[in-house]
Amino acid sequence: MPAVTARKPAPAKHGTARLVGGNDRAREALLSGLAAELAVRLAGQDEWTAYLLEPRLAPAGLAGWRLVRYDEGGYAAYDLPADLSGCDCPDARHRARQGGCKHRRACRAALTRIGLLAAKE
């Protein structure tokens, strides 16, 4: 049987994440339990991908986040824990990407910018 070799982690995905409608409006919506629109563009690409960022509430408080993308082909929904330590997208499930998948990175950037997540040190 051939030896199993460890795969190198995939390189980090870089890009831009922007809350549509402004940071204050998005913060107010998310704190009220409503969705905010998050636009994501990967480095080297011209097109933005729009997601709805929804807080997932539990009786004890914030349980996590859901990102929902709608497009011509249908929709995709990805769940992330409140601390953004993971994502259930195929990239996160099947690859060890440095810094996490694009969903984790985009949510972390946007939520940190509006003060709903502590900045990483």
Each residue's pLDDT tens digit, 69-96: 988 888 999 999 999 999 999 988 888 7
- Write down the pLDDT at residue 5: 54
pTM of the model: 0.83
Which helix (DSSP H) or strand (DSSP E) does residue 111 occupy? Answer: helix 102-113
Residue type, 6: A
Residue ranges per structural domain of the chain: 15-113
Q: First CA to last CA across the chain, in angstroms?
A: 43
